[in-house]
Amino acid sequence: MDVYLLPVMPAPPDGEPAFELYCEPPPDPEPEPGAEAKAGFFARMVVRFKQALAEGEAEQRREEDGEPEETPKDFGGRVGRFVKRKLAAAVAEQRVLWHLRNVSAARLHHPLTVTSPRAVEIATAEFKKDLSKHRLWSIIDGVIFIATGLVAIVPGPNLLAYYFIFRCVGHFFAYRGARKGMEPSLWTGVPSAPLADLQQALSLDAGRRAQKIETIAQSLGLERLSAFMRRVDNRPRPRKT
Q: 3-state DSSP helix/strand/coil percent for the chain, to nearest 5?
A: 60, 10, 30
Question: Above 60 in pLDDT, residue 166?
Answer: yes
Question: Above 50 in pLDDT, residue 87?
Answer: yes
Give the model confidence (pLDDT) of 151-161 as tens digits. 544 444 456 66
* 52 is a domain residue: yes
Tell me the C-alpha to C-alpha distance, in Å, between residue 174 and each of 21, 42, 50, 178: 14, 17, 14, 6
* 239 is a domain residue: no
**Most distant CA pair in the chain, distance:** 59
Strand ranges inside the chain, DSSP E? 2-7, 19-22, 106-111, 187-192
- What integer pLDDT is reported at residue 239 of this predicted model? 47
- What integer pLDDT is reported at residue 70 of this predicted model? 62
- What integer pLDDT is reported at residue 156 of this predicted model? 46
Cβ atoms of 189 and 116 within 8 Å: the answer is yes
* 182 is a domain residue: yes
* 48 is a domain residue: yes
Give the model confidence (pLDDT) of 118-137 as tens digits. 999 999 999 999 998 888 88
Comparing 136 with 51, which gets the higher pLDDT?
A: 136
Checking 125-133 for CB contacts under 8 A at 24+ apart, the result is 126/19, 126/21, 126/181, 127/97, 127/177, 127/178, 127/179, 127/181, 127/182, 128/178, 128/182, 130/97, 130/174, 130/177, 130/178, 130/181, 131/175, 131/178, 131/179, 131/182
Mean pLDDT over 55-83 rounds to 64
- Its domain, for residue 159, covers 2-233
- What integer pLDDT is reported at residue 13 of this predicted model? 81
Give the global pTM.
Answer: 0.76
* 140 is a domain residue: yes
Three-state DSSP class for residue 150: helix
Indicate the number of domains in the chain: 1
* 240 is a domain residue: no
* 241 is a domain residue: no
- What integer pLDDT is reported at residue 76 of this predicted model? 56
Average pLDDT, the chain: 78
76-80, 94-98, 144-148, 183-187: least confident range: 76-80
